Structure formats: C-alpha cells, structure tokens
C-alpha cells in the first residue's frame, strides 16, 4: 500500500508535522510504503481560472510549469492520501488551498452542463488532519466542512479518517497529547492493514 501525506504547515517538526509522522509510523508498521511532502517546500503557482485545457481535455496545467506536475502523479499512484494543516484564520493554510485549486487537471468537465465526465481521483481514500491552538474543538468545524466539500463533492474522494488536535500552539505542544498521537498511530495501522 502506498500512502502519501501532504503537509500544509510551514513549520517542519511542528505540531502538524508530528501528528502526520505518528500516523505514518502506524502505516509503516502495517507494511505501507509512505512518503511525506511539505507543500511549503513546493512551488505551487495559483490557479488562474482559465480552464483552457485542464477541464476540457484533462492534462497538466499549461499555464504553469511548477511542482504540481509531480505532485498530482504522486496522488494518482497513492492508495491512501493524507492532507494535514494547522487552522489559520478559520481555515486551512493558503498553500493547501493553492494545492487544491491546482488539482483541477484531474477532472474532465462537460462545461455546457457543468458535469464531471471523468475524475482521476474519484474514489481515492483520504485522511484529513487539523491542529490548532484554540482549546474549543469547534474551532475546526468550518475547516472540516470546507475540506469535506473540496474532497468529497468536488474531487469525489472518500474521507476514511479524521484527526483533530485542539489546544496546541508552540512547537512540540502536541507531544503532551499522547492520546491524540496514539489515535493517529492506530488509525495508520488500521487503514493500512490488509
């Protein structure tokens, strides 16, 4: 099983990164081949909304030559994909937003009827993970709702797991929440055990 995690946090070794690493440790213990990609290390230009080629004839974006040309194929060969981000200003990070916007080339859309004719990500299994510094778990309600819309309605993927850790601010705070890290590890094991 191939598991690819896309980390939408600008901080390596920060709380989001630690949570993802624990999930991947669980996945590896079940025999999965894992890869972690830091989106802030990638060049992802913003979608220009031209849809000139990417929706009409599914192919790479012809407007930009950037890291999305390698990131999309990594998703396509993955059996399980993880999207993780801290919550900033009530949503996930701008880099993860740019990443999702640039996933348009995976779809072929009938523009007259606005119907998805083909979607290369359809049915892919996904885990979503959020961390934030507010103690109230409801802080992540809106980001979860938005990402569910993007992944399930737009990209037609299946969310098979959610991880959520509130009340972590400083780098490493999440290490004090061993129950949440153990939950991430066990989810990795469960989803990657055949």
The mean per-residue pLDDT over the stretch 102-115 comes to 81
- Give the predicted TM-score (pTM) of the model: 0.94
Biggest CA pair distance of the chain = 53
Q: What is the CATH number of domain 2-192?
A: 3.40.50.360
How confident is the model at residue 16, as a pLDDT? Answer: 98
Beta bridge partner(s), residue 2:
33
Cβ-based neighbour number of residue 46 at 10 Å: 11
Q: Over pLDDT 70: what percentage of the chain?
A: 93
How confident is the model at residue 48, as a pLDDT? Answer: 80
DSSP-based three-state secondary structure for 178: helix
DSSP-based three-state secondary structure for 142: helix
Sequence-distant (6+) residues with CB within 8 A of 43 are 66, 67
Sequence-distant (6+) residues with CB within 8 A of 165 are 15, 19, 130, 131, 132, 174, 177, 180
Domain extents in the chain: 2-192
Does residue 62 have a pLDDT over 70? no
How confident is the model at residue 61, as a pLDDT? Answer: 64
How confident is the model at residue 108, as a pLDDT? Answer: 77
């Amino acid at each position: 099983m191939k598991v690819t995690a896309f980390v939408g946090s600008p901080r390596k070794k920060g709380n989001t990164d630690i949570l993802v690493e624990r999930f991947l440790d669980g996945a590896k213990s079940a025999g999965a081949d894992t890869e972690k990609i830091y989106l802030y290390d990638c060049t992802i230009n913003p979608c220009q909304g031209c849809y000139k080629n990417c929706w009409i004839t599914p192919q790479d974006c012809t407007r930009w030559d950037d890291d999305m040309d390698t990131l999309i194929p990594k998703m396509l060969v993955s059996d399980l994909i993880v999207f993780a981000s801290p919550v900033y200003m009530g949503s996930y990070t701008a880099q993860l937003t740019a990443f999702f916007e640039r996933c348009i080339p995976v779809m072929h859309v009938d523009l007259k009827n606005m119907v998805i004719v083909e979607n290369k990500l359809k049915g892919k299994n996904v885990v979503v993970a959020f961390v934030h510094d507010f103690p109230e778990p409801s802080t992540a309600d809106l980001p979860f709702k938005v990402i569910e819309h993007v992944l399930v309605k737009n990209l037609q993927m299946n969310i098979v797991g959610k991880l959520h850790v509130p009340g972590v601010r400083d780098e490493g705070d999440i290490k004090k929440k061993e129950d949440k890290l153990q939950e991430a590890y066990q989810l990795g094991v469960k989803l990657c055990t055949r």
